[in-house]
Amino acid sequence: MPKITVDGKLIDCKERQMVLQACQDAGYKLPSYCYHPGLSIPASCRICLVEVEGIPKLVPSCQTPVRDGMVVHSRSPKAVASQKQVMEYLLINHPLDCPVCDQAGECSLQDYSYEYGRSQSRFEEDKAKKPKKDVGDNIYLYSDRCIMCTRCVRFTREVSGTSELYVDGRGYREEIDIFPGKPCNNKLAGNVVDLCPVGALLDKDFLFKQRVWLLKQTPSISPVDSGGENIFLEYNNGVVYRIKPRYNAEVNGWWISDDTRYSYKIIQNEKRLKSAFKKEHGSLTKTSTREAFDFAVAQLKSLAAQSSGSLYAMLSPMMACEEAFLLGSAIRAIDPEAVLILGPVPSAEEDDIFRHSLTGQQTFVIKAEKVPNAEGIRRVISQLGGPSANYNELISGNNPLLKNLKGGWIVGGYLSNWIKGALPAALATGFRVVQDILPTTLSESADVVLPGAAWAEKDGCWENYAGKIQPFAAAIVPPEGITREGDLYLALLGRTGVYNAQAIRKEMGEPFAAVSLPTEHVQAPAMEFAEL
Amino acid sequence: MKDSDVITLEEPRLSYADTFYLPQVLIGLGTTMRHMFNVVVRGKDRVIQYPEERREDMPVEKGGMLLKTYRGVHRLNKDDEGRVKCVACFMCSTACPANCIHIVAAESPWADREKYPAKFDIDELRCIYCGMCEEACPVDAIELSHVYDIVGLTRQEMIFDKAKLLNIFDETVKKEPM
């Protein structure tokens, strides 16, 4: 393994690694704009120029492979002078609009200007004014803030493979642009906003909503598909404002899909169920969660007392594994022969596969299965044992186990209305307790309706399509009137105390017991440069 | 915290005379009597007939106050065209130690500016009038005026919104130009 010395510090590197990446891996910061570990290396921004002993000129550290015994200086007078000059050139035409720029606070131009630049500008002429462009449904391009690092252009060529963005012009006329009538609307388009080291590419959805230094981060998992993309929920004062990717080499790398990025909107959906309902004299009336819950439990117990095997629980693939385990155990405690049914698993035709536009190499996959935890629920049902079925068997009525069901606990929680068309006959009869986020035809005809919490409001874990169990944490508290599912199921089991996902996972045994939240936020090297 | 850092203090024991409290009551009454003597016998009046008489009109050495440096209620400044100067950068609310400034930003309706405050609320009861917002503002949009006699009947009334803060600018701009 080669070893190099950077500013007197010995750093272990991998074979054929670049100096900049080796430094980043070792936790030593070198400035960089155009370099991104997930993209090709153009070495165009020149901020990472370092002095290497034995080479007369400065070399870009992002493009210089390590050699055993190499001695690198990033703080030598020559290197520092170069950094100052690069910063000065980059800032010549950069507008001084940090107060209104959404990137302020996570902008590497700000950070490096503070760290490496000079505090005053010697440029006396008028700054070049470039237009603000609408480059996609969700993206604005403020051309005047752009420093031409071409990360976004490389992303659309090398990861999404759609090549919507290109560099137009040369020299001071150089601008990022789209081809006429071909906006940047691919399913990964939002990533160019994260990639942009300055405030040139901004998300229309997040524009002006909140300053980034006010946001707090909680590690979470994408709720939109079975890929299990790692994300950060960014929130302030109990409102989630945006979702950012969290680096995970095994799952999603540096990127997330746009569906994931905007999935937080379900939390703020106006139609959300916010209070419990109970059927009285043939119509649903608003009531407290406690009352509706007690009524449901009493009814289910009396049904179970009449005949065994008449209850079922429909476990939705939107539930956390812990919740499914608790509800499954609780319904079995009431009726030992209760049937556990896996809820509907909506799926697109096929996976969305993204390829490098030149090499054709696969870069990103959006899974076809549009729920995050079908695998996890299957695992919980098989761990609990006993009679089980799936949603299709329930609505087709082929399974003899499902012939004499009289009442059940149905969990929804899908991000959109999950009952397409008319209510299936199997779901229209018997005593039904429905727990959901959005109102559906089912919740309108149920006997008891309990409002559910969204994934950002509770702890738990989900298993992705590849069998990787990933925990997520609550970022915010649910709106008033909503009790978290975990706490309700504990009450259903007759247990006291509050729901603690980690403790429940211990109870569930392997492989869940080994799952725990990362104690430190796992951050991608590329996302780290905001730290000073 | 180490045990050696902890200092235990004993409560001082009251003397026999102190347990009656009467001496202290008499000392307190003495102060009242002294003031009464000063007003009635020596004719030295310490009372100000507010609001007819105001401290800012009195010389400082006679107990008046220097209004020039007084930090009173906030105002939101307007530019030459009468538009709010604020660009909703949240610097004031970030700097605010009392968390009393609440801004909702929006895309501005004017061509020369990106962003403006759709809502700008200051909780004047929560504010400690430290002037940090004024220091933080990059466009000199928020200032503390010299107005100190603001009143309201409810707490809600004392949360000043954008219109009210702009109104204070109109009222005070002649006396205190930007």
Residue with tokens 């569930």: A508
Per-residue pLDDT, averaged over A104-109, amounts to 93
The per-residue b/e assignment along B70-91, b for 16 or more CB within 10 angstroms, e otherwise, is: ebbbbbbbbeeeeebbbbbbbb
Q: Residue A501 in contact with residue A485, Cβ under 8 Å?
A: no
What is the rounded distance in angstroms from the CA atom of residue A210 to the CA atom of residue A233? 14
In B, which residues are within 8 Å of A208 by CB distance?
88, 105-107, 114-115
* Rounded Cα gap, residues A233 and A195, in angstroms: 17
CB contact under 8 A, B94 and A208: no
Instruction: Flag if B105 and A209 touch (Cβ within 8 Å).
Output: yes
Say if B173 is an interface residue toward chain A (CB within 8 Å).
no
The pLDDT tens digits of the residues spanning B151-170 come to 999 999 999 999 999 999 99
Closest CA to A28 of A50, A44, A43: A50
Nearest by CB to B89, which of A100, A209, A214? A100
Query: What share of residues in chain B are helix, strand, coil (percent, to 5)?
Result: 35, 15, 55
pLDDT band of residue B1 (cuts 50, 70, 90) is confident
Of the pLDDT bands very low, low, confident and very high (cuts 50, 70, 90), residue A55 is very high
pLDDT at A527: 36
Say which residue, A299 or A171, is predicted with more confidence. A299
Long-range CB contacts (within 8 A, 24+) of A489-497: A489/A323, A489/A326, A489/A327, A489/A330, A490/A326, A491/A293, A492/A293, A492/A297, A492/A326, A492/A327, A492/A330, A492/A331, A493/A326, A493/A329, A493/A330, A493/A333, A494/A333
What does the pLDDT average to over A203-222?
93
Partner B contacted by A96 (CB < 8 A): no
Which of A88-92, A287-291, A520-524 bottoms out in mean pLDDT, i.e. has the lowest?
A520-524
Contact flag B88-A209 (C-beta cutoff 8 Å): no
**B106 with A208: Cβ contact below 8 A:** yes
Residues of chain A with Cβ-Cβ distance to B114 below 8 Å are 97, 100, 208
Q: Please check whether residue A214 touches B, CB under 8 A.
A: yes
Chain B residues closer than 8 Å to A214 by CB: 90, 94
| Percentages (nearest 5) of helix, strand, coil residues in chain A | 30, 20, 50
Confidence of residue A482 (pLDDT cuts 50, 70, 90): very high
| 3-state class (DSSP) for residue A167 | strand
Report the residue of B93, B115, B140 to disrupt the A interface, i.e. the one with the largest count of A CBs within 10 Å: B115
- Give the closest-approach CA distance of A208 to chain B in angstroms: 6
B90 close to A (CB below 8 A): yes
* Chain A positions in Cβ-Cβ contact with residue B133 (cut-off 8 Å): none
Mean pLDDT of A350-367: 94
Mean pLDDT of chain B: 91
B140 touches chain A (CB under 8 A): no
Nearest chain A Cα distance for residue B115, angstroms: 6
The answer to whether A376 touches A324, Cβ cutoff 8 Å, is yes
Q: Looking at the predicted structure, is the pLDDT value of residue A11 above 90?
A: yes
Structure tokens at B162: 């954008």
In this complex, do B105 and A214 lie within 8 Å of one another by their Cβ atoms?
A: no
Report the range of poorest mean pLDDT among A137-151, A325-339, B49-63: B49-63
Cβ neighbours of residue A320 closer than 8 Å, sequence gap 6 or more: A373, A376, A455, A458, A459, A460, A461, A462, A472, A486, A501
Q: Which positions 112-131 of B are in contact with A (Cβ < 8 Å)?
A: 113-115
Q: Is B109 on the interface with A (CB under 8 A)?
A: no
pLDDT tens readout for residues A416-470 = 989 888 888 888 888 999 999 999 999 999 999 999 999 999 999 999 999 999 9
Using a 10 angstrom Cβ sphere, with 0-12 exposed, 13-18 middle and 19 or more buried, the burial of residue A327 is buried
- How far apart (Å, rounded) are the C-alpha atoms in residues A430 and A428? 7
Distance CA A287, CA A406 (A): 24
Helix (H) or strand (E) holding B28, with range, is: helix B22-40
- Chain A interface, best mutation among B86, B90, B101, by max A CB count within 10 A: B90
Q: What is the pLDDT, as a whole number, of residue A520?
A: 62
Measured over the CA atoms of residue A82, residue A88, residue A92 and residue A93, the dihedral's sign is positive
Give the torsion sign (CA, A84, A86, A90, A93).
positive
Residue A518: what pLDDT? 77
CA distance B81 to chain A (A): 20
- Sequence-distant (≥ 6) Cβ neighbours of residue A313 within 8 angstroms: A327, A328, A331, A338, A339, A340, A341, A408, A409, A410, A411
Q: Tell which of A96, A100, A236 to mutate to test the B interface (max B CBs under 10 Å).
A: A100
B96–chain A nearest CA distance, Å: 13
CB contact under 8 A, A213 and B94: yes
Work out the number of other CB atoms within 10 angstroms of the CB of residue A177: 17
C-alpha–C-alpha distance, residues A364 and A57, integer Å: 38
Show the domains of chain A with their CATH numbers.
3-89 (3.10.20.740), 99-269 (3.30.70.20), 276-514 (3.40.50.740)
B106: nearest CA partner in chain A: A208
Average model confidence (pLDDT) across chain A: 91
Nearest-CA distance A259 → chain B (Å): 25
Q: Give A267-279 pLDDT, tens digit per residue.
A: 999 999 999 999 9
pLDDT in tens, A62-84: 999 999 999 999 999 999 999 99
Distances in whole angstroms, Cα of residue A73 to Cα of each of A118, A179, B30: 20, 42, 78
Residue with the two structure tokens 């986020």? A437
How far A192 CA sits from the closest chain B CA (Å)?
A: 21
Contact between chains at B89 and A208 (C-beta distance less than 8 A): no
Residue A287 pLDDT > 80 = yes
Q: How confident is the model at residue B68 (pLDDT cuts 50, 70, 90)?
A: confident
Mean pLDDT of A138-149: 94
Can you say whether the dihedral through the CA atoms of B104, B105, B108, B112 is positive or negative?
positive
Determine whether the interchain pair B139/A211 forms a contact, defined as Cβ–Cβ distance below 8 Å: no
Query: Amino acid identity of A361?
Result: Q
What are the φ/ψ torsions at residue A503 (nearest 5 degrees)? -65, -40
Domain locations along chain B: 15-47, 67-172
DSSP line for A83-108: HHHHHHHHHSS----GGG-TTTTS-H
Q: What is the structure's pLDDT at A424?
A: 86
Task: Measure in Å the smallest separation between the Cα of A204 and chain B Cα atoms.
Answer: 11
Q: Pick B87's closest partner by Cβ from A99, A207, A209.
A: A99
**Contact yes or no for A211 and B94 at CB 8 A:** yes
- Say yes or no: A204 contacts chain B, CB-CB below 8 A: no
Q: In the beta sheet, which residues pair with residue A30? A: none
Asked if the C-beta of A211 comes within 8 angstroms of chain B's C-beta atoms, the answer is yes
Q: State whether A211 and B89 contact (CB < 8 Å).
A: yes
Q: Which CATH architecture fits B67-172? A: 2-Layer Sandwich (3.30)
pLDDT at A521: 56
Compute the nearest-CA separation of A131 from chain B (Å): 12
Element (H, E) at B32: helix B22-40
Show the tokens assigned to A113.
């200007």
- How far is A278 from A191, CA to CA, in rounded Å? 44
Distance from CA of B104 to the nearest CA of A (A): 7
Give the pLDDT confidence of A228-257 residue by residue, as tens digits.
999 999 999 899 999 999 999 999 999 999
What is the ipTM score, two decimals? 0.82
Residue A491 has pLDDT above 90, yes or no: yes
Question: What is the per-residue pLDDT for A37?
Answer: 93
* pLDDT at A346 exceeding the cut of 90: yes
Mutate to test the interface with B, among A211, A212, A239 (most CBs of B within 10 A): A211
Average pLDDT over every residue of A376-395: 91
* Residue A129 touches chain B, beta carbons under 8 Å: no
Check if the beta carbon of residue B119 is closer than 8 Å to that of residue B103: yes
**For residues A315 and A388, what is the distance between their CA atoms, to the nearest angstrom?**
11
Q: Where are the beta strands (DSSP E) in chain B?
A: 74-76, 101-107, 115-123, 142-144, 159-160
